[in-house]
Structure 1
Amino acid sequence: MDHPTFPPEFHTPGLNSFTSPYTGPPSGTVASITTAPTNPALPPLGQFNLLPPGSTGSHVVAESGDVVESTPDLELWRARLFYLEEPVILTPEEYDTYFPWIDNVYSHRTTQTYKRKSFRTLYYDCRMKGRPSGTPKSDDPNKKKRKRTARERDLCGVKIKITEYPAGFAAELKNTDGGISLDSGVLEEALARIGDGPFRVMQRIDSNGANGGGDGGPATHQHDLQTSDAIKKSKAHRQLAERQKEAKRTQKPSPWAPKGEAAATAKKHAKDAALKFYSACFCPFSQRVWIALEAKGLEYQYCETYPLSKPKPTPLLEANPRGLVPAIWQEGWACAESSVILEYLEDFNSTVPLYPTVPKLKANCRLWIDFINTRIVPSFSSVLAATEEVAKGRGMETLQRQISDLVQAADEKGPYFLGDHMCLVDIHLAPFALRISRLIPLQSLPSPTPRPRWRQWQDALEQNLHIRSTMSPDVLYTRSMDDLLKGLRGMSD
């Protein structure tokens, strides 16, 4: 080969893909304060995913106070610890992982220690119960008063206790006098999990402090979890939001933004949507995906990202841990690499097909898409990155030859690869064909293959409404060429 084959994406220190940032408590209708919410059917505790040994989890507040990534079954665990239909036994690591996500529901009342026992018990009320103000109101008319809104008290009667056992107390769980009533299977699973180490037991209690032994048993919540989240965010949510706020504050702003028709399209898709598209307006690989989204008429949120920034933008890292664009995030699922994303979009929405239905034609399209990614894109990169005239000339000859091969494989009448309609071959080629006409002349080199069919193809791409809607004025591409070269240079690292 005349030139090394590079991957078909930016592999720059900071260019390619990211769980959407925390935007507040979960949405949903707040339950009536006077009506107990329906307890959703939860799987047995033994079927929950727990932290792997030695793991700290995701979006977890560790003992250090730092939020780290990926808590298994977080929403199920929040529901489990909210309803507490049965006692829950946790190792210290599991407690430090999950309780910070639910601590906004409960308010600590007292701690009981024992002279002859080495464990202790912490008692909590539901925060909706409320408590009298600790500071009496002043009657002094000259004293400036702060505006306060007191929440109605006694809205929920749930009480819980958390008993902290030291190592070697697992046998206490088998003691029926200990007040822990568990199914034998659940108990055996807990014993196997905690071994001889320390553990904590969380359980609801009645108003007398008994474990459901009083008349009527322990109370149930008279509100849902969303109500508690609306009143106060959990420690984990607060720290996660603070971390993301700090990351955003220290984040280097992008020097580039879509202009012209691209700016209008980005503004049109600025609202939150299930499909989030992380893109850089100067990146040709991002433009591929953008063209396909427009051609298919999909609902998406455009998220302009500067992938060369350090540190990487947090949302981008959640969609693509490598920090590269383009990337998409859809309902907890992420995908990166433009070729892979385009294949997914074609399968996801077939209303506007970009592949032919004839299997042989589809296979032929995939063959020439691979040719574009493994031949034309690296040659284009080499021409832009070359600093010596000899290297530029050789790179231009190779690029001209490869474009000629592609033109010969295209439909004779055109104007697109398969004829009248744009397909995925055109979408893979378009961002580079457009940049060839804008950036190659800056290198004092002639435009490649000045043949009528190639010119017809370029004109069709320039005039296509879906492609034009993703285009910025030429000045953006010329001024951002240094960043483009940084991205292309990283491809060979």
Structure 2
Amino acid sequence: MSSGVKEVLPPPLDSSSEPPAIFDGTTKLYISYTCPYAQRVWITRNYKGLEDKIKLIPIDLQNRPAWYKEKVYPPNKVPSLEHNNEVKGESLDLLKYLEDNFEGPSLLPDDPAKREFAEELLSYTNSFNRAVVSSFKADSISEAGATFDYIENALGKFGDGPFFLGTFSLVDIAYAPFIERYQPFLLDAKKYNITEGRPQLATWIQELNKIEAYEVTKRDPRSS
């Protein structure tokens, strides 16, 4: 897990920045400090204790450098991972890639039932995000409420810990950056408390905030 030594975060690179050395044998994780998709992979890197093995390269998404699309990752999105002379993208794929190809604490259990449920929950993340975001402009919060009910029920499935699979896993990492943003927004804009009547979700958020590998990635840590 995270070493406990606070990492000095580099400043984001923008259109005026020179590119880092590309395909020089250094494993690099291109992120934005404010992107929830990139935050997923950043948390995983930290939890597995890979701060010295995977270098963070933050990108300014509002003023992104042309070389990122031209030389690093043509889709021009974050996150992306440069490893073994290849660049891979898509946050959920990268979570599994780090789990399968790097050392550190396992973030998927051996239990077949839990692994199957993990796949179900990872597949649900896009539906979850669509439902919640659509409620931002809707008159009713019912669609978002139903998705948070799904999360509440999922958290109670195994009953052997505060996290989705009992112990902290890739599933928690997949949802954490988004719930982190939805909770205050819905409370402020819709006066909707996502934890009301959902004790499992309330406990999950409390326990999540105790995990240093996640805590150091919350929102834009460089601006606080």
TM range (shorter): 0.7 to 0.9
| 8 Å Cα contact 2:27-2:82 kept in structure 1 | yes
Question: Per the alignment, do residues 360 and 378 of structure 1 end up closer, same or farther by CA in structure 2, a change over 3 Å counting?
Answer: same
The answer for unaligned runs of 5 or more in structure 2 is 1-5, 11-19
Is structure 2 residue 57 aligned with structure 1 residue 314?
no
Question: What does 1:229-244 align with in structure 2 at a 5 Å threshold?
Answer: none
> How far is 1:408 from its partner?
1.0
2:83 to 307, 330, 333: 330
Equivalent residue, structure 2, for 1:131: none
| 8 Å Cα contact 2:33-2:221 kept in structure 1 | no
Is structure 2 residue 206 aligned with structure 1 residue 459?
yes
The TM-score normalised by the length of structure 1 is 0.38
Is structure 2 residue 155 aligned with structure 1 residue 431?
no
Equivalent residue, structure 2, for 1:303: 57
Question: What does 1:144-223 align with in structure 2 at a 5 Å threshold?
Answer: none
| 8 Å Cα contact 2:125-2:175 kept in structure 1 | yes
Equivalent residue, structure 2, for 1:356: 109
Identity %: 24
Matched position secondary structure for 2:61: coil
Matched position secondary structure for 1:435: helix
> How far is 1:292 from its partner?
0.3
The TM-score normalised by the length of structure 2 is 0.80
The separation in 2 between residues aligned to 1:408 and 1:332, in whole angstroms, is 42
Question: What does 1:396-415 align with in structure 2 at a 5 Å threshold?
Answer: 396-410=141-155, 411-415=158-162
> How far is 1:381 from its partner?
2.4
The separation in 2 between residues aligned to 1:432 and 1:290, in whole angstroms, is 14
Question: Per the alignment, do residues 286 and 265 of structure 1 end up closer, same or farther by CA in structure 2, a change over 3 Å counting?
Answer: farther
**Partner AA of 1:456 in structure 2:** T
1:291 to 40, 43, 65: 43
The separation in 1 between residues aligned to 2:223 and 2:152, in whole angstroms, is 28
1:422 to 168, 183, 207: 168
> How far is 1:301 from its partner?
1.2
**Partner AA of 1:305 in structure 2:** I
Aligned length: 203
Question: Per the alignment, do residues 360 and 413 of structure 1 end up closer, same or farther by CA in structure 2, a change over 3 Å counting?
Answer: closer
> How far is 1:376 from its partner?
1.2
The separation in 1 between residues aligned to 2:222 and 2:202, in whole angstroms, is 22
**Partner AA of 1:342 in structure 2:** L
Question: Per the alignment, do residues 316 and 441 of structure 1 end up closer, same or farther by CA in structure 2, a change over 3 Å counting?
Answer: farther
Question: What does 1:468-479 align with in structure 2 at a 5 Å threshold?
Answer: 468-472=215-219
The separation in 2 between residues aligned to 1:400 and 1:449, in whole angstroms, is 10
Question: Per the alignment, do residues 473 and 333 of structure 1 end up closer, same or farther by CA in structure 2, a change over 3 Å counting?
Answer: closer
> How far is 1:350 from its partner?
4.8
**Partner AA of 1:401 in structure 2:** A
Q: RMSD of the alignment, in Å?
A: 2.7
| 8 Å Cα contact 1:265-1:470 kept in structure 2 | no
> How far is 1:330 from its partner?
1.6
Instruction: Select the structure of larger CA radius of gyration.
Output: 1
Is structure 2 residue 122 aligned with structure 1 residue 365?
no
The separation in 2 between residues aligned to 1:460 and 1:313, in whole angstroms, is 40
Equivalent residue, structure 2, for 1:442: 188
| 8 Å Cα contact 2:9-2:222 kept in structure 1 | no
Question: What does 1:263-282 align with in structure 2 at a 5 Å threshold?
Answer: 264-267=7-10, 274-282=26-34
The answer for unaligned runs of 5 or more in structure 1 is 1-262, 478-493
CA deviation profile, 1:135-172 (whole Å, cap 9, x unmatched): xxxxxxxxxxxxxxxxxxxxxxxxxxxxxxxxxxxxxx
> How far is 1:351 from its partner?
3.5
> How far is 1:265 from its partner?
4.8
Equivalent residue, structure 2, for 1:44: none
Matched position secondary structure for 1:345: helix
Question: Per the alignment, do residues 455 and 380 of structure 1 end up closer, same or farther by CA in structure 2, a change over 3 Å counting?
Answer: same
| 8 Å Cα contact 1:276-1:328 kept in structure 2 | yes
